[in-house]
Structure 1
Amino acid sequence: MELDIVSLSRLQFGMTALYHFLFVPLTIGLSVLLATMETVYVMTGREIWKRMVKFWGTLFGINFVLGVATGLTMEFQFGMNWAYFSQYVGDVFGAPLAIEGLMAFFMEATFVGLFFFGWDRLSKRQHLGATWAVAIGTNFSALWILIANGWMQHPIGAEFNPDTMRMEVTSFFDVLFNPVAQAKFVHTVSAGYVTASLFVLGVSSWYLLKGRHIAIAKRSIAVASAFGFAAALSAVVLGDESGYEANLNQKMKLATIESMWETEPAPASFNLIAIPDMAKRENAFAIEVPYVMGLIATRSLTDEIPGIKELVENSKDRIRQGVIAWDALQKIRSSEGADADVRETFLQNQKNLGYAYLLLPFSKDPINATNEEIDAAAWSAVPNVWPMFYAFRIMVACGLFFILLTAVFFYLSSAGKLEEVAKKRRWLLHIAVLAIPLPWVACEMGWFIAEYGRQPWVIEGMLPTSQAVSNLSVTEVLMTIIGFMVLYSVLLVIEVKLMLKYIRKGPDDGELPGNASAQTVAPVAIAAE
């Protein structure tokens, strides 16, 4: 990567976003699991469920604090590193983020306090209400952030004003119910549920391997496997919806995910494995599964999926139309009350204005750009295919594995065979422990696909990333990157140490007969139930 302001600003925001998202899915999923466990406690009155909520709640609290701390810096970066982006879309982008803070984050933060400090001050039902409020607030927080992000992927409900040089909301309803945002929300939340389920499943399996906290571990596996199995199935189905939306609104992203250079006859095949060659603009090797991609992306047997080369040719046409809008915009800005014909010309071509901005890194004068410069600008709209192709397949492979793993443990838990597994099939428990990091891998791959696949656009089809950055020096951005890396590394060490400390300590097993430790007699107590 070249040390230019655009690349460094992208690196900084990408690094902080991916780091922040280490905490988000676990917070989203654990909040709902806690509410579910506490609901069982209130319904049954059995103290063991209360101890489960308190234990997993401690881990939730550690994760929640780190998530808040790392998320705050991201919003400040909009003003620091992406000043023109903030000025260009502040009227649209700022509203969901403000609502997220007022409606969701304050609600979430308030009831988190009641969750931790209200056990002896609230009734059972009141505390349960506070726990569910935390879960609802956490999910609402994700909703509003993803509405903002979804608008960047599919900008509807707003128009560009040539007089103010800003995007302005025309329909908040369209912004709110943006189909891309809604698809991203349900898919992201499902991924969070899977992450928390695999975390609880893995930690509980470790307790079974160690012969500790057996009663709590068995019940935790029962909840996590059932919840995780449903969530894993949902994540796959809802991911399919995201793919369908990408075919409607982000065709280049879909083509690069599939390494589809040429437009194929419908229905298109799915590249199971491929070796993309960006230099030759073809696949050096590919194993194809007929019809699958066409069915997934178009849900029909007749609709074509355009390949990368066809989309590049379309981009060239849009760049030429965008130059007309660019020329009209310069005339509107250079003279007050530009005549009606100029404004009409701009309105007719403004949907392609963003494509004219693609020329700026290649041409000093977009109006007189050469065919070679237009060709270079059009190909710059193609993300690097190799990482997109394999990131998607890693994510999908993880998703299918999660379905299998949670299904197996759901069956074992339902059939009462977990103790048998702990004695005779310990390798299953080892797999569950080793699988703990995999949901984070899948989540990070998903965000990489969503954000890197949108490049070179910061707002799809409207504003290139290269035109959105602040007027900073390379040194200034590089120093902040180093500072963030040091700070976030320290926070990561703190997070891991705290998590491991409380996992090793384990939950409170409650009062047990005699002076024997809970760890020793727990298997005996369970066997006697």
Structure 2
Amino acid sequence: MELDVVALSRLQFALTALYHFLFVPLTIGLSILLAIMETVYVMTGRVIWRQMTKFWGVLFGINFAIGVSTGLVMEFQFGMNWSYYSHYVGDIFGAPLAIEGLMAFFLEATFVGLFFFGWDKLSKLGHLAATWAVALGSNFSALWILIANGWMQNPVGASFNPQTMRMEVNDFFAVLFNPVAQAKFVHTVSAGYVTASIFVLGVSAWYLLKGRHLELAKRSMTVAASFGLAASLSVVVLGDESGYLSTEHQKMKLASIEAMWKTEPAPAAFTAFGFPDQAARETHYAVHIPWVMGLIGTRSLTTEIPGIEDLVKRAEGRIRNGVEAYDALQTIRASAAPGAIPAEAQAAFEAGGHDLGYALLLKRYVDDPRQATDEQIAKAAADTIPHVPTLFWTFRIMVGLGIFFIALTATFFYLSARHRLDRYPLLLKLAVVAIPLPWIAAECGWIVAEVGRQPWIIEGVLPTAAAVSDLGAFTVLLTILGFTAIYTVLFIVEMGLMLHAIKKGPAPDPEPQAELAPYALAPAE
């Protein structure tokens, strides 16, 4: 069987990204929960809150260390496996990654040491400041990564330079305040907060079932249920915003999520269930909920959401327009000097340059897009359809789990308010079983985001197939096997360390005598 370098490179990045994202949400969410718990400790002076912060901090530290080690490899892949991508958009994509390292990662990595080793060396307020710095660093790290990823989904603030054959920044603030990036950031960090909340909730429920560390478990569940409920609700709201933005910037992704093959009269129905058939371009046994998709996608009752078949026709027109721009680009590049560029070629490129990426879709079928046949253009247009069944089902799994998290955290929030957390063993067991579910939802979210963008590595600008390095397929396959083996070992190590720390439980943490005195010397009534 012939090995495809593009498919193997995509598989390698997907595996490393999905492995890395096993650790990211918990790091983001636990860092905020630690800061909240220590804030309560500083405000109340109660020893139990310091003990809680230290205990959950141990689990945070294990996860943080493994997350850093798996994340480093991903950035190297841009140069190793995606060298033309790095050359083509390095001016834009490299800046957020550099800022993430300088501003966020160094902040987080510096203060994490103070968090673990500064308990008896810093004042209460000094240590609390270090904890909040770790939390802010974790979230800022996600911000800059998602600014880079959001630009790939909606490439704003940059333009193609025909002289350098690269994309170049012309408005950094447009890149920074890209609405897609901002929506992805708040949606992703909220998912991280949900992940940490369900994790804390489940571990604490296990302690209640075992009759261990009851005071710590109940307080931890109260914090996790409250924070988790707010985060779960925000995920739904912010997910709605992402859907609305997709209507404007990624119409094919939205239509594929809905398996909407044909354009429906406004307002479009939401397909709650069905079996998409990409070959036949229809959805079998579809169950529709009227109006819902129109309201989510357009926030109106009169705006249409284009279907997949109409979008393919539009793509075909953009490919033909892009071929004209490609022809003009070759004329421009053949000119001896900028002043010698024919006015007609310059005007043609300015008119159709925004569709140049669509012409590059033809590179899969012909070396020179100008020589493409009508059949090849039709095939390239059909390639703009991502894998619909994958998007359809992963999106619905994600949404279904999101609704479950709202119900779960709301239930425990109510039980916490009524001081009945330990009264319902079945609910406690459900909380324990639910621990891995946020990771499933988060991974589904990334699959929707990244598979939905295909065949583009940069939406409408650069096809994924044109972005890979000139590597041998066997070389890429070996690195896939190597990374998978290493990451699997790291995952097993992390799980072993986390389970050991949970089984061991919190260590006794007596306060300095000066802080104990007001409670120890209180007269008995």
* TM-score, normalised by the number of residues in structure 1: 0.95
Report the identity percentage: 67
Q: State the shift of 1:510 in Å.
A: 5.3
Partner deviation per Cα, 1:469-517 (whole Å, 9 max, x = no partner): 0000001100100110110011011000000000000013557xxxxxx
How do 1:191-230 and structure 2 match up within 5 A? Answer: 191-230=191-230
Give the residue type in structure 2 aligned to 1:258: E
Matched, 1:26 2:6: no
Matched, 1:379 2:378: no
Partner deviation per Cα, 1:370-397 (whole Å, 9 max, x = no partner): 1111110000110111010000000000
Partner of 1:138: 138
Q: Give the unaligned 5+ runs of structure 1.
A: 512-529
Give the residue type in structure 2 aligned to 1:352: D
Q: State the shift of 1:10 in Å.
A: 0.1
Q: Give the unaligned 5+ runs of structure 2.
A: 511-525
**Runs of 4+ residues deviating >6 angstroms:** none
**C-alpha distance in structure 1 between counterparts of 2:54 and 2:289, whole Å:** 48
Matched, 1:404 2:384: no
Select which of 387, 391, 398 maps to 1:388.
Answer: 391
**C-alpha distance in structure 1 between counterparts of 2:428 and 2:114, whole Å:** 35
**C-alpha distance in structure 2 between counterparts of 1:161 and 1:280, whole Å:** 41
**C-alpha distance in structure 2 between counterparts of 1:177 and 1:365, whole Å:** 37
Partner of 1:516: none
Q: State the shift of 1:363 in Å.
A: 2.4
Classify 1:208/1:2 alpha carbon distance in 2 versus 1 (closer, same or farther; 3 Å).
farther
Partner of 1:519: none
Partner of 1:11: 11
SS of alignment partner, residue 121 of structure 1:
coil
Contact 1:213 1:509 in 2 (8 A): no
Partner of 2:289: 289
SS of alignment partner, residue 159 of structure 1:
strand
Partner of 1:517: none
Partner of 1:368: 371
Q: State the shift of 1:334 in Å.
A: 2.2
Partner of 1:347: 350
Q: State the shift of 1:184 in Å.
A: 0.1
SS of alignment partner, residue 22 of structure 2:
coil
**C-alpha distance in structure 1 between counterparts of 2:2 and 2:228, whole Å:** 42
SS of alignment partner, residue 283 of structure 2:
strand
**C-alpha distance in structure 1 between counterparts of 2:386 and 2:241, whole Å:** 22
Q: State the shift of 1:2 in Å.
A: 6.5
Give the residue type in structure 1 aligned to 2:204: S
Q: State the shift of 1:331 in Å.
A: 1.4
Partner of 1:449: 448
Give the residue type in structure 1 aligned to 2:497: L
How do 1:463-474 and structure 2 match up within 5 A? Answer: 463-474=462-473
SS of alignment partner, residue 22 of structure 1:
coil
Partner of 2:494: 495
Residues matched between the structures, number? 508
**C-alpha distance in structure 1 between counterparts of 2:232 and 2:491, whole Å:** 27
* TM-score, normalised by the number of residues in structure 2: 0.96
Give the residue type in structure 2 aligned to 1:502: A
**C-alpha distance in structure 1 between counterparts of 2:371 and 2:281, whole Å:** 28
SS of alignment partner, residue 268 of structure 1:
coil
**C-alpha distance in structure 1 between counterparts of 2:225 and 2:213, whole Å:** 18
Partner of 2:69: 69
Q: State the shift of 1:365 in Å.
A: 3.2
Q: State the shift of 1:339 in Å.
A: 1.7
**C-alpha distance in structure 2 between counterparts of 1:300 and 1:510, whole Å:** 57
**C-alpha distance in structure 1 between counterparts of 2:429 and 2:377, whole Å:** 55
How do 1:114-125 and structure 2 match up within 5 A? Answer: 114-125=114-125
Partner deviation per Cα, 1:262-300 (whole Å, 9 max, x = no partner): 000000000000111111111122000000000001000
**C-alpha distance in structure 2 between counterparts of 1:436 and 1:87, whole Å:** 41
Q: CA RMSD in A?
A: 1.1
SS of alignment partner, residue 203 of structure 1:
helix
Partner deviation per Cα, 1:100-147 (whole Å, 9 max, x = no partner): 111100000000000000001000000000000000111000000000
Contact 1:48 1:509 in 2 (8 A): no
Q: State the shift of 1:194 in Å.
A: 0.1
Q: State the shift of 1:96 in Å.
A: 0.5
**C-alpha distance in structure 1 between counterparts of 2:285 and 2:250, whole Å:** 25
How do 1:78-477 and structure 2 match up within 5 A? Answer: 78-337=78-337, 338-419=341-422, 421=423, 425-477=424-476
Give the residue type in structure 2 aligned to 1:237: V
Q: State the shift of 1:329 in Å.
A: 1.0
**C-alpha distance in structure 2 between counterparts of 1:159 and 1:190, whole Å:** 32
Q: State the shift of 1:192 in Å.
A: 0.2
**C-alpha distance in structure 1 between counterparts of 2:207 and 2:333, whole Å:** 68
Give the residue type in structure 2 aligned to 1:87: H
**C-alpha distance in structure 1 between counterparts of 2:192 and 2:182, whole Å:** 15
**C-alpha distance in structure 1 between counterparts of 2:392 and 2:130, whole Å:** 43
SS of alignment partner, residue 364 of structure 2:
coil
Contact 1:194 1:228 in 2 (8 A): yes
**C-alpha distance in structure 2 between counterparts of 1:266 and 1:336, whole Å:** 53
SS of alignment partner, residue 273 of structure 1:
strand
**C-alpha distance in structure 1 between counterparts of 2:57 and 2:89, whole Å:** 38
Give the residue type in structure 2 aligned to 1:460: E
Partner of 1:37: 37
Partner deviation per Cα, 1:147-199 (whole Å, 9 max, x = no partner): 00000000000000000011110000100000000000000000000000000
